Chain A
């Protein structure tokens, strides 16, 4: 069996402070990490690998610094890692990233199961899984929190319409996992050292993947940023319990804080 896990390196969200009132994003600490969703995908892949004999391959599209993320993936237990980097990929949007990843998976000779995060912690569009699935013609299951393999099919429990549902998809398939469903393992020290000293990541550029300039035109254009309305600060409500309660519920509704169930 060959499993591929898709990894996205992101700017550590805990180093970013957004001031809605000042309408500015402050980057206090510029550190790049594996996003929590990709880590969950890694963990899901490693658990499947532990359960049965399989090869686990990590793939990442990104600049040269994404190699760090791949070495961490190696340390956690991946067998090999491929960095898909090229100056032509710099302005890639999610549709291009999907095409690049799909080309890489085809270069690897296809995969039985591709695992990705459901939505990354930075852009969080949740598109990569289904887009890769379509590009490869694989089946897809998104928003998975429990995963197992059964003779040529993947059985998954997925979040579905405020509840959950169990589905079964024939391999090859793409699954995306929820970030809070898997707690990633910490790699042991020897593996961390080996990941930097012994093991190597492979670099593939556009020509290795058989992509040329005409394939690499992004669809979406970035047009600017805006901010949600700032929250009230230190607003004190006095008065009857009834009026206070109505005021509280109104404010929560205004700021879309109701109906945020789950994680």
Chain B
């Protein structure tokens, strides 16, 4: 049987030289695939998975975009994770230009690609790099950007991307669309989208695109690496996650468990006045009346009863987990999740469950 008509039909579907180059209309979904030394950023994979879903709905291809990537395996990996095509942009004259992140150089490169190939939707992960790059690119392309989306849909009646982003500290989501300007841009909040499964048998097309970066000035000098700098010192009242110990932790070993839990949750250890009197925490780490009044997103109370003096300090916490053997303790009534049990036994299990 002759399938050549299929080939020609497929050709029409992706008229390489015709539509893409002359740009009759905007189509296809692009994912800016942030990568470091050939390793694709996990949040970029989440964006790729979401792009795949949207592409299925509106019937277009998913493109993975790599900048200055020379390692051949990376493009294949993007295809295995769901990209139909991969564009690798680099400047043949200065292949080193796109190794370090430079806002102006990256924006210039991506803008050149967008103007040439005209994607309908451009997604980026809301990593540090993505959040820095996306707004600048959007301004350059004179289009809208929906930042830090937690949900993306397509309004099929108008073929519009709908993005929901958290406002007011994440308590409300506002949904936006970008009706006229193209491409429609969105950055995706890490952790809200499922990473796609890897399928090594997928095949796709990899294409090298040359860009001219001779005029772009690199204005950023990276003087320090990550390890050499301490992270921001954040006061207790602005911490997002706080794990507190009470007298119920009994001794220094018990408090060490609380510290380990705080580290595993990405927060800090604090305590009640009782913990201060036991000498486990400094005075500025006391939570409650006379100490710090805090409003973290997650508060874990380990082995403390949470009488009114303590509870007053955490009443604005968004989510409280209490671990206490006494079900009648006041904190257990106020908690979103109350675990009846000895914190000294529950915390090791929590650490185990968190490390999975």
Chain A interface (Cβ within 8 Å of chain B)?
13, 16, 18, 20, 25, 93-95, 98, 121-131, 133-135, 139-143, 145, 155, 157-170, 173, 178, 180-181, 218-228, 231-238, 241-242, 244-249, 251-252, 255-263
Contact = CB atoms under 8 A, between A and B. Distances in A.
Nearest to A233: B336
Contacts of B180: 219
A176 to B, nearest CB: 9
A94 B174 CA distance: 14
Nearest to B165: A125
Contacts of A130: 103, 132-136, 139
Contact of B232 (A93, A178, A221): A178
B6 interface: no
B349 A142 contact: no
B175 A223 contact: yes
A157 to B, nearest CB: 6
A233 B342 CA distance: 21
A235 B353 contact: no
B318 A231 contact: yes
Tell which of A25, A98, A169, A261 has the most Cβ of chain B within 10 Å.
Answer: A261
B332 interface: yes
A227 B148 contact: no
Contacts, number: 266
Interface stretch (B74-82, B223-231, B275-283): B223-231
B199 to A, nearest CB: 25
Nearest to A258: B265
Q: Which 6 A-B pairs have the closest CB atoms?
A: A166-B224, A219-B144, A261-B266, A245-B349, A163-B226, A127-B135
Nearest to B340: A238
A20 B226 contact: no
Interface stretch (B57-65, B202-210, B234-242, B304-312): B234-242
Contacts of A13: 168-169
B227 A163 contact: yes
B139 A95 contact: yes
A244 B174 contact: no
Tell which of A93, A130, A163 has the most Cβ of chain B within 10 Å.
Answer: A130
Interface stretch (B10-18, B214-222, B252-260): B214-222
Nearest to B171: A18
A241 B341 contact: yes
A7 to B, nearest CB: 18
Nearest to B173: A226
A246 B348 CA distance: 11
A30 B104 CA distance: 40
A131 to B, nearest CB: 4
B179 interface: yes
How extensive is the interface on chain B, given as a class?
35 or more
Interface in B128-155: 128-129, 131-140, 142-148, 151
A18 B148 contact: no
Given A167-B223, A249-B354, A161 B128 contact: yes
Contacts of A173: 219
A223 B177 contact: yes
- The interface residues of chain B, by DSSP majority, are classed as mixed
Contact of A236 (B145, B230, B332): B332
B188 interface: no
B19 interface: no
Contacts of A178: 232
B148 to A, nearest CB: 7
7 contacts: A123-B167, A131-B136, A158-B128, A220-B176, A241-B342, A244-B340, A259-B191
A120 to B, nearest CB: 9
Given A169-B221, A223-B177, A249-B350, A126 B226 contact: no
B289 interface: no
B172 interface: yes
Nearest to B297: A260
B177 A180 contact: no
Contacts of A169: 219-221
B4 to A, nearest CB: 44
Contacts of B226: 160-165
Nearest to B343: A241
A181 B238 CA distance: 10
B136 A140 contact: yes
B337 A241 contact: no
A180 B349 contact: no
B229 A129 contact: no
Contact of A220 (B178, B225, B238, B333): B178
A131 B337 CA distance: 42
Given A13-B169, A259-B191, A165 B224 contact: yes
Given A121-B169, A236-B338, A262-B266, A165 B225 contact: yes
Given A164-B229, A232-B336, A241-B341, 13 more contacts: A95-B139, A121-B168, A143-B128, A143-B131, A168-B220, A178-B232, A220-B178, A221-B179, A223-B175, A242-B352, A245-B353, A248-B337, A258-B265
B298 to A, nearest CB: 5
B145 A127 contact: yes
